[in-house]
Chain A
Amino acid sequence: MKAEDIKLDENKIYCRPTLLNDTTMHYCPGCSHGVVHKLVAEVIEEMGQKDNAIGVAPVGCAVFAYNYIDIDWIEAAHGRAPAVATGAKRLNPERLVFTYQGDGDLAAIGTAETIHAANRGENIAIIFVNNAIYGMTGGQMAPTTLIGQKTATTPYGRRVDLNGHPLKISNLLAELEGTCYVTRQTVHTPAAVRKAKAAIRKAFENSLAGNGTSVVEIVGTCNSGWKLTPDQANKWMEENMIPFYPLGDLKNNSQK
């Protein structure tokens, strides 16, 4: 094959999803959000849901998700995405409605909205990126920050006596009758990316089938907040995050 031929469409084996806007992302190099955005865009495209999707963006690093994935979006107040999605989905039951939220948004300020939307079994998908820190505001402690982890508000490391325990909110959500699918994935290796993509697809399929609430937690990196290089951040995540937040399905009652 000549160099020119490689560029031909029929010879492409991989390309940017058409729903992922060709624009510079504000995410730091090494951040997991870019990969998760790409997967969401790919899945919507592959499922043919471009003209049937409503995304609900959070407050946090993913606040600008609507700039990157070319579908209809609602930008919610901090933590309120599951309530906003409830309103949008109940009034438009045929649509694919999903939220994209971080750990502070979903597991701190929005805990009530998260738990009650899931407990009602709203037919929405929740994409939950857990990087154990508040990235957007400059690296403060999150509800999922590990014990001993240093952040701007736990400069000497998180202490149980001062700050309580990191919250495994997906385990809690898996206990609720309203959830049909709760899984924890990551995106730091090609194999992990493939699994995460399959999980997002399953969550979206569940929403369209009316099976209840699906939650896909993505354990991600925040190398800027963690003050590590992207490579070190991946290692730190493997050694510290994944033992505490083990990967895999916490619940899978998906049915077609």
Chain B
Amino acid sequence: MKEEVKLMKGNEAIAHAAVRYGCDGYFGYPITPQSEVLETLEALMPWETTGMVVLQAESEVASINMVYGGASTGKAVMTSSSSPGISLMQEGMSYIAAGELPALVVNVMRGGPGLGTIQPSQSDYFQATKGGGHGDYHYIVLAPSTVQEMADFVALGFDLAFKYRTPAMLLADGIVGQMMEKVVLPEPRPRRTAEEIARQCPWAVTGNPSDRKPNVLTTLELESDKMEVNNRRLQATYRQIEQNEVRYQEYFTDDAEVVFVAFGSIARICLKAIEDARGQGIKVGLLRPITLWPFPTEEISRLANRVKGMMVVELNAGQMIEDVKLAVEGRVPVYHYGRMGGVIPNPQEVFDATLSHFPFLKK
């Protein structure tokens, strides 16, 4: 069968992909620049077709707790929001991580801090990759750079979330959320049946303990020794994820003297800058982390052994650069070029900033 190519916004692609994944429920609250996710889902009326629940909550605090409630019952549930809304969800994210619950959270980032701007930004990198809420926890963070990846990472995020019993975040930004591109939507798959949930999620609070002991989903443990055991179990999962799930893409790194490290939309602007530079015989390349947590530390470390420097480009004041520096361990200089407040640099600006730090690139 010929692939059906559609033209749509990244936010719309997420909604379509969620229904096609067999998502059981979406709970969300409007916020720019991602309201199209909820709008599209309401227009698709999936409760009439797949039986998927879609509900506009009274706040992001409520949405994330509806996700917590739904995920506790073994269902595939998700929410989406943008930066200020994601801040409100941090309490719930901590509970979902502590409860070892699979769930998908989409953050279409806008500029902060505070109410900030509705324009694109990547300034929630720290929040997304270091935990964000209280306690020692992580979740898988996927960084789409195209509308196609917005669609594809819904299934990837859910699959990883269920595999490791952890929340996953799709960390996009206003550019990828709002721009329209060609996209091939994933093949529809059915929602999990009650039997499949009972088999795949024996921990789930299904409300039907007939052939098992009652399940209790709690994140509370007042005995320190036991709470440390719970923490060690979480940490063991995180080590497994770090070992198995690092994803990244490299462009022109084989002979590069300087490698860009950039994720999401800005990686594409870097790629354009790199192509222009290559046209002038300047050997630069790009490493685009696809998972921001787990971070491609090893690959960046390998690159540090053969390049002369790294250029981290982000739509923030310098967040991912800290992880790049930890990977590089001082072997080569690492510089940052970042714009804030919703400003998007063009490839020339990226290129000029790079040349200012690495003048030897000018032949």
A-side residues, CB < 8 A to B, are 50-54, 56-57, 63, 66, 70-77, 80, 83-92, 95-97, 112-113, 116
- A73→B205 contact, CB < 8 A: yes
Q: Besides A51-B209, A88-B72, A88-B205, 19 other CB < 8 A contacts?
A: A54-B206, A72-B206, A73-B215, A75-B217, A77-B65, A77-B92, A80-B61, A83-B57, A84-B65, A84-B68, A85-B69, A86-B69, A87-B65, A87-B67, A87-B77, A88-B69, A96-B207, A112-B62, A113-B61
B24 CB contacts on chain A under 8 angstroms: 91
- A53→B220 contact, CB < 8 A: no
- In the complex, the number of residue pairs spanning A and B with C-beta atoms less than 8 Å apart equals 129
- Complex CA–CA separation, A51 to B57 (angstroms): 29
Listed residue (A53, A74, A116) with the most chain B CB atoms within 10 angstroms of its CB: A74
Q: C-beta contact mask, B163-204 vs A, less than 8 Å → 1, else 0?
A: 000000000000000000000000000000000000000000
The residue from A72, A83, A85, A86 contacting B61, defined by CB atoms under 8 A apart? A83
- B243 contacts chain A at the CB level, 8 A cutoff: no
- A91→B73 contact, CB < 8 A: yes
B-side residues, CB < 8 A to A, are 24-25, 27, 53, 55, 57-59, 61-63, 65-73, 75, 77, 91-92, 95, 205-210, 214-220
- B73→A88 contact, CB < 8 A: yes
A87 CB contacts on chain B under 8 angstroms: 25, 27, 65-73, 77
- B65→A80 contact, CB < 8 A: yes
A-B contact pairs, 18 of them (CB 8 A): A53-B207, A72-B208, A72-B216, A73-B214, A74-B72, A74-B217, A74-B218, A76-B65, A77-B95, A83-B61, A83-B63, A84-B68, A87-B77, A88-B70, A88-B73, A88-B207, A112-B59, A113-B58
Closest to A57 in B: B218
- Complex CA–CA separation, A92 to B58 (angstroms): 20
Closest to B25 in A: A91
B214 CB contacts on chain A under 8 angstroms: 70-73
With contacts A75-B217, A116-B62 taken as known, whether A91 is within 8 angstroms of B70 at the C-beta atoms is yes
Closest to B212 in A: A72
A80 CB contacts on chain B under 8 angstroms: 61-62, 65, 68, 92
With contacts A75-B218, A76-B68 taken as known, whether A92 is within 8 angstroms of B27 at the C-beta atoms is no
- Complex CA–CA separation, A80 to B99 (angstroms): 15
